[in-house]
Structure formats: structure tokens, C-alpha cells
């Protein structure tokens, strides 16, 4: 699972699985669902290769975009768009606030606990008051 950086929410993923599979996941899940250090725009070096090779094709930069400075740099570099999935799960109004100048970065802490919610309605589990969210402490 090289698709995200930060903590690997093993316990949360395991909880979504049926009984026998859950037991197997508890035993071997750490072998294939690893934690990788988070860094802003972690796919940027790879995306630049596509940008260079496919210069006439609009390319979207994704992978840990949470800072306005990263967005501005990516657009200036030639990316057509940026994707901000996890940041938008935490703060759906973030682009509007960035555009108005009231925000420059996301509150997303890259805990990846949103990943196991793909089976039950994808959401940030740290946002209090949303259905299915059990953790109201954003620092958790």
C-alpha cells in the first residue's frame, strides 16, 4: 500500500474485515500495509516524469497535497490540477478558504484513518459530529 504516507491504520482496517479474515489480517497485515513517512506532495518526483513525457496532456498532481504553496508551485510548474482527497475529507470547504485567503494549509494530520471508511462511507473520522465518527479529538 504505497498509496498513502503516514501511519498505517492496521487496527481500523482489521475491524472492517469479517471474522476469519480479521484474524489473518491481525497476524500478517503489518507485512503488506506498511507505514511510510509523510511528506508533502510525495508523488511529485514521479509526476514530473509524466509531465515531461506527456507535455501536451493535462496532468493532475496527487499524493499528500495539503499546502497552498504546493498547489501554487505545482500549477506554475505545469500541472493542470492538484488532487486533495484526504485534505478535503477533513475540510470540504478548504479550496474556498484557500481562495479567499483564510487558510493556507489543511488540518489533515495524515493519520490515514479515513482509509478503512471506504467500506462504510468515506469520511475523516476526526471530525466531530459527522455520522460514524467515533473520535472527536483532532489531536488523536
Domain hosting 73: range is 39-105
Q: State CA 71 to chain mean position distance.
A: 15
- How confident is the model over 33-55, as pLDDT tens digits? 888 899 999 999 999 999 999 98
Nearest CA to 35 among 14, 66, 12, 4? 4
Q: Domain tally for the chain?
A: 1
pTM confidence score: 0.81
- How confident is the model over 63-94, as pLDDT tens digits? 999 999 999 999 999 999 999 999 999 999 99
Which contacts qualify for 118-127: CB closer than 8 Å, 24 or more apart? 119/16, 120/16, 122/89, 123/89, 124/86, 124/89, 124/90, 125/12, 126/90, 127/90
Q: Is residue 9 part of a domain?
A: no
Q: Is residue 18 part of a domain?
A: no
Q: Is residue 49 part of a domain?
A: yes
Q: Is residue 96 part of a domain?
A: yes
What number of other Cβ atoms are within 10 A of residue 14's Cβ? 17
Q: Is residue 72 part of a domain?
A: yes
Q: Is residue 34 part of a domain?
A: no
Q: Is residue 90 part of a domain?
A: yes
Amino acid at each position: 500500500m504505497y498509496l498513502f504516507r503516514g501511519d498505517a491504520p492496521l487496527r481500523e482496517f482489521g475491524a472492517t474485515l469479517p471474522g476469519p479474515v480479521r484474524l489473518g489480517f491481525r497476524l500478517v497485515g503489518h507485512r503488506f500495509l506498511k507505514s511510510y513517512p509523510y511528506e508533502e506532495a510525495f508523488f511529485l518526483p514521479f509526476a514530473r516524469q509524466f509531465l515531461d513525457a506527456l507535455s501536451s496532456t493535462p496532468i493532475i498532481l496527487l499524493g499528500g497535497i495539503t499546502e497552498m504553496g504546493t498547489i501554487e508551485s505545482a500549477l506554475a510548474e505545469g500541472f493542470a490540477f492538484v488532487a486533495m482527497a484526504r485534505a478535503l475529507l477533513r475540510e470540504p470547504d478548504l479550496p474556498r478558504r484557500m481562495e479567499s485567503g483564510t487558510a493556507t494549509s489543511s488540518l489533515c494530520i495524515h493519520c490515514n484513518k479515513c482509509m478503512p471508511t471506504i467500506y462504510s462511507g468515506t469520511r475523516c473520522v476526526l471530525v466531530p459530529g459527522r455520522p460514524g465518527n467515533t473520535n472527536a479529538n483532532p489531536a488523536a
